[in-house]
Every structure is written in C-alpha cells, then in structure tokens.
Amino acid sequence: MGRLDNKTAVVTGATSGIGEASAIMFAKEGATVVCTGRNRERGAAVVKKIEDAGGKAYFFPADLTIKEELLALHDFALKTLGHIDILMNNSGVLVHKPYLEHTDEDLDLIFKTNFRSYTWNMQAYIPDMIANGGGSIINVASISSVWPEVNAYYYGAMKAAISNLSKNVAKEFARQKVRVNCILPGPILTGMTPEEAATEEGQKAMVDSVCLLGRLGVPDDIAYGAVYLASDESAMMTGEALTIDCALCISN
C-alpha cells in the first residue's frame, strides 16, 4: 500500500531535478500525477519512467509565466484527474552573479517564474481543493530565503516572499483543510547548481565548508520530504517550512 494511494497530484518543473524526482516518487507511492514543464521531450521521458515502474502519469507542456498556459494546465489537470489533492509548485530559475550586475530583466524573470506563477497556481487550485474537502500545497522555496547566499540576491528574495506568502495562505484556508507548506532545500545537485559546485573539486570544497552531514543533497532527498507533506502523515502540519539543507544553517 502506497502513502499516496488514490491521491492526485500536479507537479510543476517536473522535467528535471527536484520536480522530476518528486513526480516519480509521488507515483511510486500511488498518486496519479500530472507533470508539467516547457520541454516536451524531457516531460515524455519522465512519464515513461513513471509508467515503466507501474505508475500513472500525464505530461502537459506549459510556460507558467504565461497565465493562459497556466490556466490551460489547470483545466487539463482537473479534467484528467477529476480532482486535485496535491499541488507542488517547484518551477524556478536562478540568476547567480554579483548584486550590482543584476539587471531589471533578471528581476522580472525571477519574479515571474519563482513567485508569480506560484501564487497564480494557488489561486487556481485552492477552490478545487476546498470543493474536494481539502488538499496539500507544497511550495519549493530555498534555504536562500533564510540564509544569505552570495550572488543569489533576487532568487533568495523571491524565495523568502514565497515562504511568507505560504504562511499567510495557510492561515486563511486551514479551516477548509487546505494545507500550505514549504520546503527549503539547501545545496542540492541539480541543473541549477552554481558553477563553483559543478566540479568534483568544487563540490568537495562546499561539503567541507558547509555540509556537516558529509555530502551535498540530491533531488530524492527533497522528494522524500515532499511525499511526507503530500501525505496524510503531515495532516497536522500547515504554514511550516521543512528545511532539508545538509546541516548548512548550523554550519557557522
């Protein structure tokens, strides 16, 4: 018996990294999953992995910075799944450079991708969850929202905004049993890993300096936390931020 049997889920940014790992793990635990992202080939590959393992998934391509595409995804998910139990907002971009080099275009991109698409999605899916008796929203923020990360200024600011928004939305809809929680990943090896940690030497230096648990994280480390927040095991948890950071925050 899976921890998410008979549940349905929508996972954004599901074509790689944390989103892909979470979609696969949700399906492994019994959920039917709608995956979304902009790359059709990678999306099809994720669905194939899930189906080859005996799970059930669909892919819907969408650029969530465009509201019409985001709403089309919502309509597809609702029509395909019948109801929505879990929404995982995970799509994101990272601009990594010195503060004075950040541009207006950088700010616009990070705002549209890392903040606005999350709030649009919550506004789209919360009414469905209320009608269905409740649900779980998981917003992927970042340890950068509480721990200063040099060169990730706008990224950290938007992730802090998502963490704050999540708490407020959680409070408003707790009585309707719509739970809203965040995950704060620390150093995780994904396609968004900064250049300085992209080599073995760079990864070792990061582990030695800030990862007291002895290694960098991998997407599955975050997916395990997402499964917990998506499941009934976390039924008494809302408005919280689950930190999975390789002990980075206590390293200094």
- Candidates 110, 32, 102; CA nearest to 65 is 110
Residue with tokens 């049993």, as numbered in its chain? 177
- Candidates 180, 168, 171, 160; CA nearest to 114 is 160
CB neighbours (10 Å) of residue 197? 18
CB neighbours (10 Å) of residue 103? 11
* Beta strands, E only, 19-144: 32-37, 56-61, 86-89, 135-140
Among the options 125, 153, 155, 228, which is catalytic? 155
Could you give the C-alpha distances from 15 to 41, 60, 116, 126, 160, in angstroms and in order? 9, 11, 20, 24, 24
The two tokens of residue 251 are 């390293």
> Three-class SS of residue 9?
strand
For the question of residue 228 being annotated catalytic, the response is: no
Residues 6+ apart with CB under 8 A from 66: none
The two tokens of residue 109 are 């991109």
The two tokens of residue 57 are 């998934």
Which of the residues are catalytic?
Answer: 155
